[in-house]
Amino acid sequence: MQSSGMERLIKQQETHHIKNSEKRVLARKNLERKIRAQDLARKLKSILIKKVSLKFVIEFSSLN
């Protein structure tokens, strides 16, 4: 009987033991990646708000 891809992945994962220090490093990298993504999202949001508000001001001033 053939095993599914998921079963093979689980078997591969079980053979390699991850040390606590490796877990801490991976957790720190994931946290840094998450913080960086949040920071970039915040910057992008502020840029988009500025562009939209500027476009609104230009269109509103051209109507008057």
Torsion angle defined by CA atoms of residues 57, 61, 62 and 63, in that order, rounded to the nearest 10 degrees: 110
Count of domains observed in the chain: 1
Residue 6 belongs to a domain: no
What domain range includes position 31?
16-63
**Is pLDDT of 47 > 70?**
yes
| 11 within domain boundaries | no
CA distance 44 to 50: 10
pTM score: 0.55
Measured CA to CA, the distance from residue 44 to residue 61 in angstroms comes to 26
> pLDDT, tens digit, for every residue of 3-44?
677 777 766 655 566 788 888 999 999 999 999 999 999 999
**Nearest CA-CA partner of 11 in 21, 2, 20:** 2
**Confidence tier at 49 by pLDDT (50, 70, 90):** very high
